[in-house]
Every structure is written in structure tokens, then in C-alpha cells.
Chain A
């Protein structure tokens, strides 16, 4: 068998593992540099086409999972999953989780004193269509304080998890909002250097805003690309 075509390495927007301003990295970032390995079938394959068997059916409306409507600003987030060459990544799952409108997570270890919302869990998942498009409806999450430093507040964000086509393309990221002054002073967002940090900032969009219903935000996710399988070259090329 010929060797699989490798995926490209991380680009300049990847955060470092050690970013001391984000205190938790100090005891958790490996000291030794990672070792480069060739991409074998292990790295170029992934559980494609069976995401629902693994994760369960799609749950694209996070505002419709309970008896009543959650409190907060209803929004839709839509966009495409692409590779670095602008090719759509179809039939891939995006897993979603977030805090509620008050910035509180439905999690036993979240000690922030803001109220829970009995009508909001904040978890969902969607799958991309043939053009790589996805869309989900939720409420805009609130900012919340955390213990990283005195008066530290996380900007509003939605967590997104993607498997992509291969082990090599696995990505967990966070989507931010365009009008949020906290991004500029957040150590987690700041681990990504400018201008690449702005790739994580969604765009408000009037075209996908639904009248009398929900504000629209656009967010494309770009996964590692891969050179096309080279054509077998016959004959001489002098």
C-alpha cells in the first residue's frame, strides 16, 4: 500500500501549550517538545459516517430541550466546516456546550453564584451537510468570573468540538462574540496570537438574523488541510 497523504501541520494560529498567564497551563503543559511522526493510517483515518451511533441523534435547538423557553437572547450560529483549501468538510459532527445566559454551567463543580436555568442545558450537536454547512439555535451565553487571577472574567463563549475526517484533524475550540471587550484581556483567548485570535470571533449577520426570533452569528471552522492524492505521473517530463 502507498503511504497515506499526510495532513498539514498546525499553522501559526495554534496556541502554545505553556502560556503562563493562563495559570492552569503551568502544571499541565508538557516540558518536552512533541515528537514529529509520519502520518500513517492511524493518523489519517477517523470514525467518519457513524457519528450518530457514537454521540446520539442531532440536537440543533438548545432552546427546545425542556418544558419552557430558556431565559436569554436567542441566537442562531451558522457557518461551514472547511479545510485549509476551502473545501467543505461534509457529514462531520460538531459537539456544542456552553454556559447559560447568566454565565452559569449546568455542572456540579461550577461554583459561580449566578442562577441556573431549568429550561437550559447548553449541550447539543449538529452534523454538516454536503456543502459543509451547519446551523444551531441557542441563547447567548453570559460572561463569568473564574479563579485565574484577581477579577478574572471569561468572555462569552461557546465550546465547539470537531472530529473532522481523521485523528489528525481533531479540534476543540471556543467561539467568541464580536462585541465583547473581555476577549482582549482573556488569557485563554490571548494564548492565540493576533491576528489569528480573530479567527475565533464570530460575525453578527443581519441576513441570517430571523425577524422577531433570533440574532444571527456566522462562524466557519477551518480544519487542517491535506494535499490531494498526487496523480500517477507516466511518461517523461523532460
Chain B
């Protein structure tokens, strides 16, 4: 220490984030119950309009709203749909402090991502495809979006229209990943990912029509009809 200037002395290193000996993936931790002022912004669950869907601004004071405000954009191309469901625990009780995220292709089947190399399919300037919804006091998530187009699967196959879903909540130590498919859509019977799911559990991934343009699928963390989650 003696040859290091006082102002440059650091405490002796202990095993911590900066230690090369334990370098590797940062472990996941729960989102906890108090994320509402930090993550789900107004309009985060409305991928096609300008509503405030997705946020729970009643859970904190207006002067503490530092999240995004939904900005006006044009209307994306495609079939507008509403996608809703209840998140429930092993006892069937609604999970009122969950956050559901979606990621999907546009109506033509193109992801808005530099990692989707298919330049022959156009990006929709009015559609990103990422959304975030807090669950309500009834445990319900709700999105407005467009029906995604089909995207390629392994080995030149074609996947049925689907939306990738991440689920976060108090008591959930790492992101739960699943998918939502749509009953009756093209390619459902030979979707290469759905085919990896035991036949008797596939229904937990398939939303049902519940009125014009409205689709429903509950996400069950346990009990009867536990949702299939994926290991990515």
C-alpha cells in the first residue's frame, strides 16, 4: 500500500461482481412486488394504438411517473386483436402483481430486429412488436396488437403464428418463457415447437377466440392445466 498514493487506494478485493474467477451470466432475481413505477409504462400493452393500457399508475403518485408516455404513431398493418388472460398460482388464485411481456413478428412475419436477416419482408414502420402489461387486481393481463405472420422454424420449416411471452412476478426467481398460439390458425398442426410439447399439454399454449377479435389464454403457474414453460 505504501507506494500507492492515498487517493488511489482501493479496499482489498473480495470475491464480487468484478472478480474474473467467477465471471459468467449474472444470475436472475425476482422482479418483486413493487416494479410498477419502474417498468410497465402507459401504453406498453397497446402495440397498435395510443391508450394507457399496461400501466398501473394508481399505485404511485403522479409526480413519480418517470416512465414513457405513449407517443402518437400510425396504425400498423394487419388484423387488430386483443389478447387477454388471467395469471393464476397453484391454488388458482389470481396473481395481481405479475408482469407479462410479449415479443412478436409483424403481420407479414418479420421481426423488427437487426437479427432478422430477411430483407425481402418489410418492416412495418408503425409496429415494434414488444409489449408489457401489468396484471390487474383480477390478475388479468391485456394487450392490443396485430395477429403475427408466420416465421421460419428449424430446418426450413414454417412456424404457426405465435407470440413469445415472458412472465415475471414476486415469487418467480427467473423469467418464465412461454408462447401463445391461436386456435384454428394455419400450421398449428405441424408447428415444429408445439410438436415438442406433449399432446395433452398443447392446449395450455393455444388461445381461444372469445368474441370478435378477442383471444383469451390464462397463464397457470401450477395446478390443473399448468402452462407449459420453455427452457431457452
Contact = CB atoms under 8 A, between A and B. Distances in A.
Contacts of B232: 7, 9, 37, 39, 43, 167-168
Contacts of A171: 26, 28, 175
Interface string B16-45: 111101111111111111111111010010
B171 A123 contact: no
Contact of B196 (A13, A37, A110, A124): A37
B29 A31 contact: no
Interface in B90-126: 90-91, 93, 95, 97, 101, 103, 105, 111-118
B230 A46 contact: no
A35 B228 contact: yes
Nearest to A193: B27
Nearest to B43: A54
Contacts of B214: none
Contact of B231 (A37, A204, A205): A37
A230 interface: no
B193 A30 contact: no
A187 B145 CA distance: 38
A42 B162 contact: yes
A106 B64 contact: yes
B8 interface: yes
Contacts of B103: 42, 45-47, 167
Contact of B24 (A31, A44, A199, A203): A199
Nearest to A206: B10
Contacts of A205: 10
B30 A14 contact: no
A172 B173 CA distance: 9
Contacts of A24: 30, 170-171
A121 B66 contact: yes
Nearest to A218: B18
B41 A56 contact: yes
Choose among B23, B32, B67, B101 the residue with the greatest number of A CB atoms under 10 Å from its CB: B32
B115 A170 contact: no
B64 A173 contact: no
A159 B30 CA distance: 9
Contacts of A168: 232
A134 interface: no
A4 B159 CA distance: 14
Contacts of B101: 170
A32 B228 contact: yes
A143 interface: no
A215 to B, nearest CB: 12
A13 B24 contact: yes
A205 to B, nearest CB: 7
Contact of B27 (A40, A45, A197, A204): A197
A202 B38 contact: no
25 contacts: A13-B27, A17-B172, A17-B176, A27-B89, A30-B176, A32-B228, A34-B177, A38-B154, A40-B193, A42-B105, A43-B164, A46-B103, A56-B41, A86-B23, A97-B34, A106-B64, A109-B97, A123-B66, A123-B67, A172-B175, A178-B14, A199-B17, A200-B26, A206-B8, A207-B10
Interface of A: 1, 3-4, 7, 9-17, 19, 22-50, 53-56, 59, 65-66, 79, 84, 86, 95-97, 99, 105-110, 118, 121-124, 159, 161, 163, 165-168, 170-175, 178, 188-189, 191-192, 195-207, 218-224
Instruction: In the A-B complex, list the 6 residue pairs whose CB atoms are closest, starting with the nearest.
Output: A97-B38, A24-B171, A56-B68, A45-B113, A28-B171, A34-B231
